[in-house]
């Protein structure tokens, strides 16, 4: 049994509803024993999320124990450093022993380097495992953002779970069009349509979508995300040797079987 702490990476383009979603998730009873790393920049900061709640206890200068039993920590340095700090404080019982971790990124974040950090960093890899990449997509402006911004394109292409937000603000036709585009961009992701950030945490927490023990690894999704981002506007990823060549490393806890790796190799050779 894998005893590492499961990590959910929550990202999405600017204005796609991450703050609203986090507000609901942080207060949900099902989020008990969950640690959440959020960004302090912009309106998604800790003070904004917690400003109307008084049932919280500050246990460190950047960490709050919410009344729901959820631990909330702001990102003030490198992600890996914040994760290591949380882990060691957990082991020393300075903070409650959380059983899962959610990481919220900025709207302009490239998820690729974050995933690499989760998989390859010392301390991180042996103690945390990536559970799923959850991406919020604005139902009203999502199509335009995917077309015009490489970050939005890559976020959608790399997702395990796509949350179509603000569905109450658009027509069924517009919503279906967005869903079709997302399906074409990332057929492996599950889609949920939500309004006002309402969703059962079990739909995105501890879902085990990135698990080499239960399904094939999917590096082709990461490759697809990078190649699509090259064809759209925005900042290209660093460490690119050529427009068509990008390198990355995936370190898994156990060896893959041929059945698991063969589909990825076939996909790679066909592109």
Q: For residue range 164-176, list pLDDT tens digits in order.
A: 999 999 999 999 9
Q: Which of 4-18, 104-118, 241-255 has the lowest mean pLDDT?
A: 241-255
Q: What count of Cα atoms within 13 Å lies in the side-chain half-sphere of residue 35?
A: 25
Number of domains within the chain: 1
- SS3 state at 29: helix
Rounded Cα distance between 194 and 202, Å, is: 14
Strand partners, 38: 74
Q: What are phi and psi of 257, to 5 degrees?
A: -80, 165
Task: Note whether 17 and 142 are within 8 A (CB).
Answer: no
The parent domain of residue 226 ranges over 5-270
**Quick one: pLDDT at residue 232?**
41
Beta-carbon contacts of residue 54 (< 8 Å; ≥ 6 apart)? none
Tokens for 186, please give them: 């990332």
Minimum mean pLDDT range among 104-108, 127-131, 159-163, 265-269:
265-269
Rounded Cα gap, residues 207 and 8, in angstroms:
9
pTM attached to this predicted model: 0.74
Most confident option among 52-66, 92-106, 160-174: 160-174
Q: Domain with 97 in it: what CATH number?
A: 3.40.50.300
Query: Residue 84 belongs to what H/E stretch?
Result: helix 79-91
Check pLDDT > 90 for residue 182. Answer: yes
Nearest Cα residue to 16 out of 102, 106, 114:
106
Integer Cα distance of 39 and 3 in angstroms: 27
Predicted confidence band of residue 54 (pLDDT cuts 50, 70, 90): very low
Q: Which one, of 174, 153, 122, 218, lies nearest residue 13 by Cα?
A: 153
**Residue 73: its pLDDT value, please?**
72
> Strands 63-65, 71-75: parallel, antiparallel or unpaired by DSSP?
antiparallel
């Amino acid at each position: 049994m894998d005893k590492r702490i499961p990590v959910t990476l929550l990202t999405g383009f600017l204005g796609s509803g991450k703050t609203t979603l986090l507000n609901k998730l942080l207060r949900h009873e099902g989020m008990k024993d969950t640690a959440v790393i959020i960004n302090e920049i912009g309106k998604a900061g800790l003070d904004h999320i917690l400003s109307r709640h008084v049932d919280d206890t500050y246990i460190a200068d950047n960490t709050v124990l919410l009344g729901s039993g959820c631990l909330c920590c702001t990102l003030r340095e490198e992600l890996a450093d914040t994760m290591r700090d949380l882990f060691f404080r957990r082991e020393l019982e300075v903070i409650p022993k959380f059983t899962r971790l959610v990481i919220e990124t900025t709207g302009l974040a490239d998820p690729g380097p974050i995933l690499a950090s989760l998989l390859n960093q010392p301390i991180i890899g042996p103690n945390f495992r990536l559970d799923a990449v959850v991406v919020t997509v604005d139902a009203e402006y999502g199509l335009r953002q995917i077309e015009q911004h490489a970050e939005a394109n890559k976020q959608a292409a790399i997702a395990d779970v796509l949350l179509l937000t603000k569905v109450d603000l658009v027509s069924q036709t517009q919503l279906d069009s967005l869903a079709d585009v997302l399906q074409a961009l990332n057929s492996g992701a599950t889609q949920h349509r939500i309004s006002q950030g309402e969703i059962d945490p079990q739909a995105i927490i501890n879902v085990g979508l990135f698990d080499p023990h239960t399904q094939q690894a999917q590096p082709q999704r990461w490759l697809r995300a990078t190649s699509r981002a090259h064809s759209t506007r925005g900042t290209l990823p660093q460490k690119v040797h050529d427009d068509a060549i990008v390198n990355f490393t995936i370190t898994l806890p156990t060896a893959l079987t041929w059945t698991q790796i063969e589909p990825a190799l076939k996909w790679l050779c066909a592109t």
